[in-house]
Amino acid sequence: MTTWEGEPRRRRIAASGMALGAAVGAVFGLATMLGAGPALALDVVKLKPAVAAEVNADWPHLFELYKDIHSHPELGFQEHRTAARLAAEMRALGFTVTEGVGRTGIVAIYHNGPGPMVMVRTELDALPMKELTGLPYASDAKQIYRGAETFVAHSCGHDSHMAIWVGTAKALLSMKAKWSGTLMFVGQPAEEQVGGAKGMIDDGLFTRFGGKPNYAFALHVGPAPAGELYWKAGVISSTDDDLDITFLGRGGHGSRPDVTIDPVLEAAHFIVDVQSVISREKDPTAFGVVTVGGIKAGSAGNIIPASAVLTGTIRTYDDTVRLKILEGVRRTAAGVAEMAGAPAPQVDLALGDYAVVNDETLTLKTGHLLDEAFPGHSHEEMKPGTASEDFSEFVRAGVPATYFNLGAIDPAMIAADMAKGVPVPANHSPYFAPQPEPTIKTGVEAMTLVVMNVMGPGA
């Protein structure tokens, strides 16, 4: 998932909304909006009322679909029920659907005359965590994750994406006289654990279904006012590399540390010392994060264990900083062990997601459309977000793409949380609770219009 950071460039916010807008911008880095762009080749904006009418007519079904998916989340590569439900929805609309692509992914194709092939992607998977929203349709589902049973929840927001995906497909088909080309709707597994996008590509996504798309679109909901849209050309998200280090020692009694080599102390030194790579080795103006999120060591307070395992994440925006931090992590781990007189640590740094880089031409075209179609609710972001997203694999495969963001939280809840001085629950929080309306409706309208913007006459 992606989070957002930005800074204001030009404001067109009504005075009555300034306090909330400024406060939300300070907390979430929401950027401000631009003026209207150049004239559109296809006047898609005039079609917005018809799209909105279609979405309103379909809303009862979309809301029920959303609640069903929310209540039945599934983890990466286990999304069998989810994929089957979406496949059935798309077949009912007239798409040709193939299941099991990249293990649990789905591909839905609809041909509507000559023209570009446009891909629209949604994620299928959820997170291994317990939901605490208290919603009447909250999840109490459980699945096996890394060998143990865990609660599962759509605290990522992917349930909203799936409802938007289906709603967009239906809206596009209801207006198929206005556009021409081929729709490729992709339901991608395992975005959260990384591997789903690459798995679909490796399974022939761009060879089995008519070739590589001319354009690709995706969106992500997040902790901003529901119905607000955010876009940015260029880098939009961070890389994501996994850190897994086992420090080795010599176990013994806690009262006799002199005859042991304490791996817990090694781990503690590493957690502190590795931050010097961030503060003293990389360019101070460049983004880079090393976070240790897990420590596993020992079985009792009076036993010095023989090993300590650290797990974490490394985030950057570009390969120069990425490689410098990876090298620094390895060097710091080795140095800590040498200082302790311990065996060399086992260091596993697994490269994960690359940064999503939005195509500049396509994204500016998309952004100008959103500015015109959603005046006062479309914002250009100035900075990339710090989360990661394997939508980057489709971009790296050579598909011009635009990935944009959508606010999903009730503005009243945002104002109440800020008044209390507490952060608004964001993606991956057990309390993350998107407001289905207007979030899903706006998402369907926006995605439908941006697709038609590259498929209509003269586009």
Each residue of 82-112: pLDDT tens digit? 999 999 999 999 999 999 999 999 999 999 9
414 pLDDT higher than 60: yes
Each residue of 297-320: pLDDT tens digit? 999 999 999 999 999 999 999 889
- Rounded to an integer, the average pLDDT of 14-43 is 39
35 pLDDT higher than 80: no
Range in 38-42, 271-275, 305-309, 440-444 the model is least confident about = 38-42
32 pLDDT higher than 70: no
**Among candidate residues 146, 154, 136, the one with its CA nearest the CA of residue 82:** 154
pLDDT for position 58: 97
3-state secondary structure the chain: CCCCECCCCCCCCCHHHHHHHHHHHHHHCCCCCCCCCCCCCCCHHHHHHHHHHHHHHHHHHHHHHHHHHHHCCCCCCCCHHHHHHHHHHHHHHCCEEEEEECCCEEEEEEEECCCCEEEEEEECCCECCCCCCCCCCCCCCEEEECCEEEECECCCCHHHHHHHHHHHHHHHHHCHHHCCEEEEEEEECCCCCCCHHHHHHHCCCCCCCCCCCCEEEEEEEEEEECCCEEECCEECCCCCEEEEEEEECECEECCCHHHCECHHHHHHHHHHHCHHHHHHCCCCCCCEEEEEEEEEECCCCCEECCEEEEEEEEEECCHHHHHHHHHHHHHHHHHHHHHHCCCCCEEEEEECCCCCEECHHHHHHHHHHHHHHCCCCEEECCECCCCCCCCHHHHHCCCCEEEEEEEEECHHHHHHHHHHCCCCCCCCCCCCCCCHHHHHHHHHHHHHHHHHCCCCCCC
267 pLDDT higher than 50: yes
396 pLDDT higher than 60: yes
- Rounded to an integer, the average pLDDT of 360-375 is 97
Percent of the chain scored above 70 by pLDDT? 91
248 pLDDT higher than 90: yes
- Rounded to an integer, the average pLDDT of 354-373 is 97
Residue type for 427, please? N
**Residue 194 confidence class, pLDDT cut points 50, 70, 90:** confident
Average pLDDT taken over every residue of the chain:
91
Residue type for 14, please? A
Each residue of 212-226: pLDDT tens digit? 999 999 999 999 999
**Residue 16 confidence class, pLDDT cut points 50, 70, 90:** very low
pLDDT for position 37: 43
pLDDT for position 42: 61
Contact status, residue 369 vs residue 377, Cβ threshold 8 Å: no
Q: Treating both helix axes as pointing N-terminal to C-terminal, what angle do 360-373 and 436-452 enclose, rounded to 10 degrees?
A: 120
- Using a 10 angstrom Cβ sphere, with 0-12 exposed, 13-18 middle and 19 or more buried, the burial of residue 365 is buried
pLDDT for position 352: 87
The token pair that represents 459 in the structure block:
């586009």
Q: For residue 435, give Cα distances in angstroms to 372, 418, 432.
A: 24, 18, 10
Percent of the chain scored above 90 by pLDDT? 87
pLDDT for position 93: 98
295 pLDDT higher than 80: yes
pLDDT for position 41: 52
pLDDT for position 33: 30
Contact status, residue 193 vs residue 153, Cβ threshold 8 Å: no
pLDDT for position 135: 98
